[in-house]
Amino acid sequence: MTTLTLAYPESTVHEATAAAIIRVLEANDVEPEIVTGPKSILATMLKNQEIDLYVSAWLPDEDGALLTPGVLPLGTLFHSEICCCIPGENAAYTSLADLAQAGPELSRTIITPASLVAHMEKVLDVYGLAAAGFTLAPSPDAEAIAPSIPF
């Protein structure tokens, strides 16, 4: 069986991404040795070629420095047309249904990239969010996609 060192930053977002990759590797008789830790330490390990595969949700402003000589990016690293919202691990709201049922303590304004307005209008309708008082606040794509909280 082939082995390789797979690393991902310590967070549930990155862990979920890595889990999918790990399953594919194992299905193909590759046994990953898993390393987790802060991004800064993993970046150094990657630069020093101590990691074979680094799995991460790609954030261009934070992760661009990973592309050093000897590091080969795989796949398309960033899709500005795709967005994903993930609540914190102890969040009171864990689904769109929870959001639709929330009380007045929850803001009903959804910031969305201008390029996604048509898609988000469908989301509002399909999940009953418009009926629950949610509205869209389109922003230029770069502003709307910029992370507002660190991972």
Of all residues in the chain, what percent carry a pLDDT higher than 70?
78
pLDDT tens-digit profile of 74-111? 765 555 444 455 556 666 777 767 767 777 777 788 88
User: What pTM, to 2 d.p., does this model score?
Assistant: 0.50
pLDDT of residue 150 exceeding 50, the answer is: no
Query: Would residue 44 count as lying in a domain?
Result: yes
Claim to verify: residue 107 and residue 133 sit in the same structural domain: yes
- Mean pLDDT across the chain: 78
CA distances from 11 to 17, 40, 59 (A): 10, 14, 14
- What pLDDT score does 118 carry? 85
> What's 51's DSSP letter?
-
Are 39 and 95 contained in the same domain? no
Mark whether 29 and 59 lie in a shared domain: yes
Distance of CA 124 to the CA centre of its chain: 21
pLDDT of residue 57: 67
| Angle, vertex CA 60, rays to CA 70 and CA 19, nearest 5 | 75
Between 2 and 138, residue with greater pLDDT? 138
Residues 59 and 92 in one domain: no
Within-domain flag for 73: no
Question: Nearest Cα to 2, choosing from 35, 31, 24?
Answer: 31
* 71 pLDDT higher than 80: no
Q: Considering 11, 42, 66, which residue would you say is the last residue of a domain?
A: 66
Q: Could you tell me if residue 74 is inside a domain? A: no
Does residue 49 sit in the same domain as residue 85?
no
In a domain, 135, yes or no: yes
Query: Residue 128 domain-assigned?
Result: yes
Q: Which domain holds residue 53?
A: 2-66
Same domain, 57 and 94: no
Q: How confident is the model at residue 151 (pLDDT cuts 50, 70, 90)?
A: very low
Residue 8 lies in a domain: yes
Domain count of the chain?
2
Cα separation, 124 vs 140, whole angstroms: 20
Which percentage of the chain shows pLDDT scores above 90? 13
- Check pLDDT > 80 for residue 28: yes
SS3 readout for 61-107: HHHHHHCCCCCCCCCCCCCCCCCCCCCCCCCCCCCHHHHHHCCCCCC
Tell me: pLDDT of 148 over 50.
Answer: yes
More confident residue, 105 or 33: 33
Interatomic CA distance for residues 5 and 20, integer angstroms: 15
Q: Are residues 134 and 93 in the same domain?
A: yes
